[in-house]
Structure 1
Amino acid sequence: MNINATLILQAIVFLILVWFTMRFVWPPITKALDERAQKIADGLAAADKAKAELANANKAVGEQLAQAAGETTKLLGDAEKRAAQIVEEAKKRAEEEGAKIVAAAKAEADQQVTRAREVLREQVAALAVKGAEQILHKEVNASVHADLLARLKTEL
């Protein structure tokens, strides 16, 4: 055979191989490559979507933390105000109770002073009667002279 005939025959076999490859081998390979590219694109889109959702979730968590911190601050402020009110109320009650105790003590002291004066008057009256007995050298009857003794008590 001749170089030309071999060359032509090899060209024909090559063309048949190219046609066979293009017809039966190439379509499944391109289909597999396209499917793989689609899966990769879907995975990247899902990753982007998850990244956006994570950013939104982080933003929502930050907002909730800020809101919780604000509420906590408000609750602490309210608690401090309430504690101050309770302390003020306790001080008022203590002052009122102290005033009542002082008033009761003053009233009791006044009563004791009055009782002491009464006892002292009776003792002075008894001493006056004893003194009058000794001056007169006779017994003064308290029941007979009750009016005189009552007047003496009131004068003292």
Structure 2
Amino acid sequence: MNLNATMLGQAISFVIFVWLCMKYVWPPLTALIDERQREIAEGLSQMDLAAKELELAKANGEQLMVEAKQSASNLVEQGNKRRNQIIDDAKLEGDTEKARIIAQGQSELESERNRLRQELRQEMSDLVSKARKN
């Protein structure tokens, strides 16, 4: 009987131990486990959201790079057009200035030619008058 009483006492002690664990130990442990599972689930959902935002940011970054390259090429093209326009304007202004200088030179040359003719006529008339007096 001694063996049965010991086994019965151990069984009752084990049942009381299990009941105490279920009453006082198990609920806080399950609460901690549930809270940890919830935190992990939130972390995973935040990670998925961050991954989606990263993909969106990459796509936006690539689009901005394409737009920036296009804008830069447009600016370069406008600069080249403006440079060519300035060169053409300078050539036109140079041609106009050249024509003005040539016209002024021809005018000065013609006036110098006329002055020299007048001087020659004057000298010729002076020589003719001197020759008649002699």
TM-score, with length taken from structure 2? 0.92
Q: Is the radius of gyration larger for structure 1 or structure 2? A: 1
Identity of aligned residues (%): 37
Q: Corresponding residue for 1:64?
A: 64
Q: Corresponding residue for 1:35?
A: 35
Cα distance in 2 between the residues matched to 1:34 and 1:131: 141
Q: Corresponding residue for 1:25?
A: 25
Cα distance in 2 between the residues matched to 1:14 and 1:53: 54
Say yes or no: does 1:95 pair with 2:95.
Answer: yes
Cα distance in 2 between the residues matched to 1:30 and 1:120: 131
Query: Bigger CA drift: 74-83 or 3-12?
Result: 3-12
SS of the aligned residue for 2:127 comes to helix
2:113 partner amino acid: V
Q: Which runs of 4+ in 1 moved over 2 A?
A: none
Query: Bigger CA drift: 116-125 or 100-109?
Result: 116-125
Where does structure 1 lack aligned partners over 5 or more consecutive residues?
135-156
1:55 Cα deviation after fit: 2.0
- How many residues are aligned here? 134
1:63 Cα deviation after fit: 1.4
Where does structure 2 lack aligned partners over 5 or more consecutive residues?
none
Say yes or no: does 1:81 pair with 2:81.
Answer: yes
